[in-house]
Structures are given as structure tokens and as C-alpha cells.
Amino acid sequence: MLVGIDIFSGAGGLSLGAEMAGAHIAFAVEKDKSAAETYRFNHPETPVLCADIHDINPLEHLPQLNPDDQLIVFGGPPCQGFSTSNTVTRNMKNPNNSLFEEFVRFVSVLNPDWFLFENVEGFMRFEKGKIRDLVKKCFEELGYTANDALLTASDYGVPQHRNRYIMVGNRHGIEFQFPEKQDKVYTVADAISDLPTLVNGQMEEKMSYTLPLSKASEYARSMRKGSKASMQNYVSRNAEYVVERYKYIKQGQNWEAIPSELMQNYKDRNNCHSGIYKRLVPTKPSVVISNYRKNMLIHPWANRGLSVREAARLQSFPDSFIFKGTLMDIQQQIGNAVPPLLAKSVFEQILITEAN
């Protein structure tokens, strides 16, 4: 069996994908209390260490492994310093950038059969690729054969165009081949068309689906397994002037469609990010679901932001997955997560490779 240790786990997107593939998670490490609470609720049998990773000796928490077990350490160190969207602190002075050293420490101490290192796509280009080369060299010096790739979530069953950098290594000399792209591409409409009709600021814990299971999309049916209702239908309450802006934006358009007289609180419209005030296109995969509240991502048909459940669907979290914390905590957890179905594809490929 593949036995995993999830560090910098967040809400548990990587762990969920690993479990879907057939892995068992020995323990997880997550410093943020709300994210750790979400992880515990959805993985009740997995110990979660809510502590600073610098203070953790992983050997103290590693269970007894069976002779046939394969150990894998996986996770994504906080990526604020590596992200291409962060132009202020994108340098090695950002303390978050040194956290990859803790990942390397866990691998060095535990000597796992495999590791999976995940980060934002900007990681590949950070410091002109020098950091990516440094991380790879660290693993190679520990005896690992490491391969990396930039994967797009929409190629692996996730209704979202989201790129993630992934490095997979093993100490068996295997040149890991990343999974082939899937033929089926799911859209925003596939993901959310059966979810409740909501308005700006509506906060409903439990609501009925708008379509029977038989009429829902293939993707929606897969998300509804184990759930009888749509949970956590929470929509941030935007100010009326924000909702007024929404009315001018058609599917696929962004803030540029808003009349200038309604954008007077922006000192320089030229500094607006292209992802601000983006209305989703129902016939395509979603744009990146990161900080979707701050970016004012707009529902494809309604003049409001996305609900928690809609964003979770676009990230491929099943409806049975419940998030904990304040609304802002939950939105951040969803935006930070690795899409579980993307993770599932990679872990399945690791298991196939190991079996061969």
C-alpha cells in the first residue's frame, strides 16, 4: 500500500486525491487552525499536527509500516513568494520561500520511497529557474530520481484551467512519466448547473439541488456521490455599487467592460489585473479559482460572486466535503487547494509505476 505523509496540507486536496487513488494517509501537518479543522473533519482517521513544521520531528509520528508498504511524502510549501501574481515579495527574502527546506528535511529524515512536491506554475520561472534547479538538486543529492512537469487541471477531469507545478521523485531509479491527458473536458456548466439559485449575500447551509441526479451532468453526478443536498451555499455580500458593475460584464469579459464612471475608486485602471471582475463562461472550464472573493469572480448567469459550493465544485471537491472556519477562511482554503482530481491522476500514475 502507498502510505502518505501530507505536509503543508491545507484543507486536504492532495490527501483527498491520494485517498481516491487508493493511498492511506499516516498523518498531516498544517499550521493554519481553520484549514487543520477542515482536514480533521473530512479525514477523521488521520492525525493532523496543527503546529509549526520547524518544530516537528516526523519520526515521532510515523506509524509502523508493513514490509510491502511504500512511503510517500507530499505537499506544497506556501507559494506566496513564488506566485507570478505576487510582484511585491517575489524574491528569496520572502520567508515562505525557505519552507521548501522543511520539505527537503522531511524527505531526508524519513527516506521515503517517493515524494511529490507541488507548487504554483511561477515556481518554474522564479529566479529564472534557479530555485527549481536547486530543489531538484537537493533531492538528487539525497539519492532520488526526480522528474517535474507543469500540469493543467482541466486535462485531468477538473472544470478549471489551473496550472500546477509538480515534481515527483523516487529512490528506485525510476524515470517517472506523468499521466496522459484525459479526452473529456468539463465546463463551468457541467460543474454548477444543478446547484441552487442564489443571490448576493445569501447564506444557506443546506439546499436542494435544482436537477434530479438523472438529469445532472456526468461531472455533477460524480460530485454528488454521498451527498443528498447542496451544502454550504454561502455567497459573500458585495456592496450595491459592486453588484451594479457586475451588470455590465458579459460572459468572458472582465473589469474593462465596466463604465469608467463606475470605477472612480480605482486610481489607475491600467493597474487592474485581467482576472478582476471576470464573468465565467459556462461552455468552457473556469479561470483559476484562487482568491475568488477578492478577484470578484462572477457567476456566469447571476449578478453575484461564486458560492462556496460552486467554487468547491470548480476545484473538484465533492459535495460531501465540508469546510470549516469563517467564510473568508473557507474561501481561502478552496482557492489554495490542489484540485483533488488532478492529485488523483498523479497518485494513480505513481501506483501504476510502482506496480510495474
Evaluate if residue 124 carries a pLDDT over 90.
no
Positions annotated as catalytic residues are 79
Q: Do 269 and 158 sit in the same domain of this protein?
A: no
Contact call for residues 14 and 35 (beta carbons, < 8 A): no
- Tell me which H or E stretch contains 231: strand 230-234
Alpha helices in 74-232 (DSSP H): 100-110, 130-141, 188-192, 218-223
Specify the pLDDT at position 268.
64
Q: Do 116 and 213 sit in the same domain of this protein?
A: no
Rounded to two decimals, the pTM is 0.91
Q: Do 202 and 261 sit in the same domain of this protein?
A: yes
Q: Do 12 and 146 sit in the same domain of this protein?
A: yes
Evaluate if residue 84 carries a pLDDT over 50.
no
Contact call for residues 324 and 38 (beta carbons, < 8 A): yes
Grid cell listed for 141 = 543529492
Question: Mean of the pLDDT values across residues 121-146?
Answer: 88
If you ran DSSP here, which 8-state letter would residue 350 be given?
H
Distance CA 76, CA 28 (A): 12
Specify the pLDDT at position 312.
98
Tell me: the pLDDT tens digits for 21-75?
Answer: 999 999 999 999 999 999 999 999 999 999 999 999 999 999 899 989 999 999 9
**How would residue 240 be classed by pLDDT, with cut points 50, 70 and 90?**
very high
Q: Do 176 and 216 sit in the same domain of this protein?
A: no
Evaluate if residue 224 carries a pLDDT over 90.
yes
Residue 237: give the domain boundaries.
Answer: 188-336
Contact call for residues 164 and 116 (beta carbons, < 8 A): no
Evaluate if residue 19 carries a pLDDT over 60.
yes
Specify the pLDDT at position 82.
47
Q: Do 135 and 176 sit in the same domain of this protein?
A: yes
Q: Do 80 and 92 sit in the same domain of this protein?
A: yes
Evaluate if residue 88 carries a pLDDT over 70.
no
Distance CA 88, CA 108 (A): 32
Q: Do 93 and 240 sit in the same domain of this protein?
A: no
Contact call for residues 133 and 124 (beta carbons, < 8 A): no
Count of Cβ atoms closer than 10 Å to residue 1 Cβ: 12
User: CB-hemisphere CA count at 13 Å for 45?
Assistant: 5
The lowest-confidence range among 21-35, 73-87, 112-126 is 73-87
Specify the pLDDT at position 274.
64
Specify the pLDDT at position 310.
98
Evaluate if residue 15 carries a pLDDT over 90.
yes
- Return the percentage of the chain with pLDDT > 90, whole number: 78
Evaluate if residue 3 carries a pLDDT over 60.
yes
Specify the pLDDT at position 233.
98
Please name the residue that has the C-alpha cell 454548477. Answer: 192
| Mean pLDDT estimate for the chain | 91
Q: Go through 231-263 and write b for each residue having 16 or more CB atoms within 10 A of its CB, e for each that does not.
A: bbbbbbebeeebbebbeebeeeebbeebeeeee
Evaluate if residue 80 carries a pLDDT over 80.
no
Number of domains in the chain: 2
Specify the pLDDT at position 323.
98
Distance CA 96, CA 159 (A): 29
> Judging by beta carbons within 10 Å of its beta carbon (0-12, 13-18, 19+), is residue 61 exposed, middle or buried?
middle
The amino acid sitting at 176 is F
Specify the pLDDT at position 100.
81
Evaluate if residue 244 carries a pLDDT over 50.
yes
Q: Do 136 and 245 sit in the same domain of this protein?
A: no
Evaluate if residue 87 carries a pLDDT over 70.
no
Specify the CATH number for the domain of residue 102: 3.40.50.150
Q: Do 276 and 293 sit in the same domain of this protein?
A: yes
Specify the pLDDT at position 290.
81
Sign of the Cα torsion 350, 321, 279, 122 reads: negative
If you ran DSSP here, which 8-state letter would residue 339 be given?
P
Q: Do 139 and 276 sit in the same domain of this protein?
A: no
Specify the CATH number for the domain of residue 314: 3.90.120.10
- Write phi, then psi, for 118 (nearest 5 degrees): -125, 145
Distance CA 140, CA 268 (A): 47
DSSP string over 207-221: E--SS-GGGS-HHHH
Q: Do 235 and 134 sit in the same domain of this protein?
A: no
